[in-house]
Amino acid sequence: MKLFLKGLLSLICFSHIVHANNLSAVSIPSLSTIDKNKTPVVITLGQIKTSEIQQQVFEFLTPIYRELGIELKVKSLPSKRALAFSNKGLLDGELLRVEGIEGTYTNLVPVPITLYQMSTYAYTIKGKRKFKKPTEILHFKIGIHRGVHWEETFVSQFPHCVSRVGGTRIKFKLLALGRVDYVLSSEQRANQVIAKYFPNDDIVRVSPIIKKINLIHYLHQKHAHLIPSLLRALKQQQNVLPLAHAK
C-alpha cells in the first residue's frame, strides 16, 4: 500500500490539471462547526462496478471522512441504479460522478472539486476514423454502457441506432462482432479493456475527441451540511489534487 500511495502521489504531482472551482473563494468553516447531532457515523456511497478509478478515489477520501469522524463505505451497483438509489436517499451519495448530474438528480449536491478528469472518444474497427464533428458518428450504429450519464446524454442528440449493454467489455464485444459500428468510452477505460480482451481486433480511436469530463463527489442533500468541512479537508490536500488525470 505504501508503494501504491507513493506512486499515486508521484502521478498526481506531475498532473497539469488545476481545477478546484475557485476553492480559495469558498468560505469554509472549521471542522469544529459541524453539527454533531446531524453527523452520521457511517456514510455509504454508490460506486460503479468494475471501476479502478473509483477504488482510487475511495482510498483517497476514506481518511478525509475519518477526520470528520465518519466511516466511509461503498456499495457497488449498476450505474443508473446507483444514481436512483442515491437520489432517493437510499444511499448517502455518489463516490465519483460526472459533474452536472444534479440537473437530473436534484437531491444530489456536488462537492465542487474535480477529483478526476477523463477524455472520451468513439472507437471503431471498420468505420470511418475521422469526422469534422463527433456528433456525425450518431448516424451509425452505436454501442454504449447503459446508464452512464455522459454516454446517454451524447446519444440522446440523435438516438437512432443505439445498443445499450451492461459493461465496457460487453460494449467492445459488440464492436468486435460487428453488431455496432462504434462504441463510446473514456480513453483510460478503453485502453484497459482493449489491451486485456481485444488486443488483436484492430480497434482504433476515432477523432476528434468527444469531450473532456470532470468527475466529482456527490452527497445526498440530507448531508449537505458536511460539504463545507469536506472542502476544508480537501483544500488541505491541495498538493495531491486532482487525484488522477486521463489524457
Which segments in the chain show pLDDT lower than 70? Answer: 1-38, 50-51, 238-247
- Burial of residue 33, with CB atoms counted within 10 A of its CB: 0-12 exposed, 13-18 middle, 19 or more buried: exposed
Supply the CATH number for residue 112's domain. 3.40.190.10
Tell me the chain's radius of gyration from C-alpha atoms: 19
Query: What integer pLDDT is reported at residue 160 of this predicted model?
Result: 83
Query: What integer pLDDT is reported at residue 33 of this predicted model?
Result: 45
From CA 159, how far away is CA 139, in angstroms rounded? 9
Residue 108 and residue 47 share a domain = yes
Look up residue 119 and give its three cell numbers: 477524455
Alpha-carbon distances, residue 44 vs 36, 65, 92, 98, 145 (angstroms): 18, 11, 5, 19, 24
Range of the domain at 146: 119-211
H helices present in 42-115, as ranges: 52-67, 79-88
Query: What integer pLDDT is reported at residue 237 of this predicted model?
Result: 75
From CA 159, how far away is CA 90, in angstroms rounded? 31
pTM of the predicted protein model: 0.73
Residue 186 and residue 146 share a domain = yes
Residue 46 and residue 10 share a domain = yes
Count: domains in the chain = 2
Dump pLDDT digits (tens) for 28-82: 334 444 455 567 899 999 998 766 788 889 999 999 999 999 999 999 998 889 9
